[in-house]
Amino acid sequence: MAQVSRNKQVILTDYVTGFPKQSDMNIVDSTITLKIPEGSNDLVLLKNLYLSCDPYLRILMTKDTTAELGALTPGSPLTGFGVSKVVESRDPDYKKDDLVWGMTKWEEYSLIPTAQILFKIEHTDVPLSYYTGILGMPGMTAYAGFFEVGSPKKGENVFVSAASGAVGQLVGQFAKLHGCYVVGSAGTKEKVDLLKNKFGYDEAFNYKEEPDLNAVLKKYFPEGIDIYFENVGGKTLDAVLLNMRVHGRIPVCGMISQYNLDQPEGVTNLAHIIYKRVRVEGFAVFEYYHLYTKFLEFVLPLIREGKIAYVEDVAEGLENGPAALIGLFTGQNVGKQVVVVAHE
Amino acid sequence: MAQVSRNKQVILTDYVTGFPKQSDMNIVDSTITLKIPEGSNDLVLLKNLYLSCDPYLRILMTKDTTAELGALTPGSPLTGFGVSKVVESRDPDYKKDDLVWGMTKWEEYSLIPTAQILFKIEHTDVPLSYYTGILGMPGMTAYAGFFEVGSPKKGENVFVSAASGAVGQLVGQFAKLHGCYVVGSAGTKEKVDLLKNKFGYDEAFNYKEEPDLNAVLKKYFPEGIDIYFENVGGKTLDAVLLNMRVHGRIPVCGMISQYNLDQPEGVTNLAHIIYKRVRVEGFAVFEYYHLYTKFLEFVLPLIREGKIAYVEDVAEGLENGPAALIGLFTGQNVGKQVVVVAHE
Ligand SMILES: NC(=O)c1ccc[n+]([C@@H]2O[C@H](COP(=O)([O-])OP(=O)(O)OC[C@H]3O[C@@H](n4cnc5c(N)ncnc54)[C@H](OP(=O)(O)O)[C@@H]3O)[C@@H](O)[C@H]2O)c1
Ligand SMILES: NC(=O)c1ccc[n+]([C@@H]2O[C@H](COP(=O)([O-])OP(=O)(O)OC[C@H]3O[C@@H](n4cnc5c(N)ncnc54)[C@H](OP(=O)(O)O)[C@@H]3O)[C@@H](O)[C@H]2O)c1
Tell me the pLDDT tens digit for each residue of A140-163: 999 999 999 999 999 999 999 999
- How confident is the prediction along chain A (344 residues), in pLDDT tens digits per residue? 679 999 999 999 999 999 999 999 999 999 999 999 988 889 999 999 999 999 999 999 998 876 666 789 999 999 999 999 999 998 999 999 999 999 999 999 999 999 999 999 999 999 999 999 999 999 999 999 999 999 999 999 999 999 999 999 999 999 999 999 999 999 999 999 999 999 999 999 999 999 999 999 999 999 999 999 999 999 999 999 999 999 999 999 999 999 999 899 999 999 999 999 999 999 999 999 999 999 999 999 999 999 999 999 999 999 999 999 999 999 999 999 999 999 97
For chain B, the average pLDDT equals: 96
At residue B67, the pLDDT reads 65
> Which of B67, B264, B274 has the CB atom closest to A255's CB atom?
B274
Question: Is residue B19 scored above 80 in pLDDT?
Answer: yes
Nearest Cα residue to atom 30 of ligand 1: A257
Q: Among 3.90.180.10, 3.40.50.1970, 3.90.550.10, 3.40.50.1360, what is the CATH number of B4-134+311-340?
A: 3.90.180.10
The pairing of strands B43-52 and B25-33 is unpaired
At residue B65, the pLDDT reads 74
C-alpha to C-alpha distances, A300 to A83, A178, A243, A292, nearest whole angstrom:
17, 17, 35, 11
Q: Among 3.40.50.720, 3.40.50.11810, 3.30.470.20, 3.30.1540.10, what is the CATH number of A137-286?
A: 3.40.50.720
Closest residue in chain B to residue A243, using alpha carbons only: B66
Mutation target to probe the A interface, by most A beta carbons within 10 A, among B167, B270, B281 is B270
In this prediction, residues B201-219 reach a mean pLDDT of 98
Question: Is the CB of residue A253 below 6 angstroms from any atom belonging to ligand 1?
Answer: yes
Question: Is residue B233 scored above 70 in pLDDT?
Answer: yes
Distance from C-alpha of A267 to C-alpha of A272, rounded to nearest angstrom:
11
For A323, counting Cβ atoms within 10 Å of its Cβ (0-12 exposed, 13-18 middle, 19+ buried), the class is: middle
In this prediction, residues B86-113 reach a mean pLDDT of 96
At residue B344, the pLDDT reads 77
B228-B260-A249-A242 Cα dihedral, nearest 10 degrees: -160
At residue B68, the pLDDT reads 67
Q: Which atom of ligand 1 is nearest to the CA of A53?
A: 15
Q: Which residues of B touch A237 (CB under 8 A)?
A: 270
ipTM of the complex: 0.96
Question: Is the CB of residue A220 below 6 angstroms from any atom belonging to ligand 1?
Answer: no
Q: Where are the domains of chain A?
A: 4-134+311-340, 137-286
pLDDT classification of B107: cutoffs 50, 70, 90 = very high
Instruction: Pinpoint the alpha helices (H) of A73-188.
Output: 137-143, 168-177
pTM: 0.97
User: Which residues of B have a CB under 8 Å from any CB of A?
Assistant: 66-68, 233, 237, 246, 252-255, 258-259, 263-284, 287
B47-B50-B56-B59 Cα dihedral, nearest 10 degrees: 50
Q: What is the pLDDT of residues B323-336, one digit of tens each?
A: 999 999 999 999 99
Q: What is the pLDDT of residues B124-179, one digit of tens each?
A: 999 999 999 999 999 999 999 999 999 999 999 999 999 999 999 999 999 999 99
At residue B40, the pLDDT reads 85
Between A and B, how many CB-CB pairs are < 8 A? Answer: 105
Same fold, B4-134+311-340 and B137-286: no
Nearest Cα residue to atom 18 of ligand 1: A165
At residue A281, the pLDDT reads 98
Q: What is the pLDDT of residues B282-310, one digit of tens each?
A: 999 999 999 999 999 999 999 999 999 99
From the CB of residue B155, how many other CB atoms can be counted at a distance below 10 Å?
A: 10
Angle at B176 between CA B172 and CA B179, to 5 degrees: 145
A82-B275-A66-A107 Cα dihedral, nearest 10 degrees: 0
Closest residue in chain B to residue A263, using alpha carbons only: B268
Please check whether residue A106 is in contact with residue A255, taking contact to mean a CB–CB distance below 8 angstroms. Answer: no
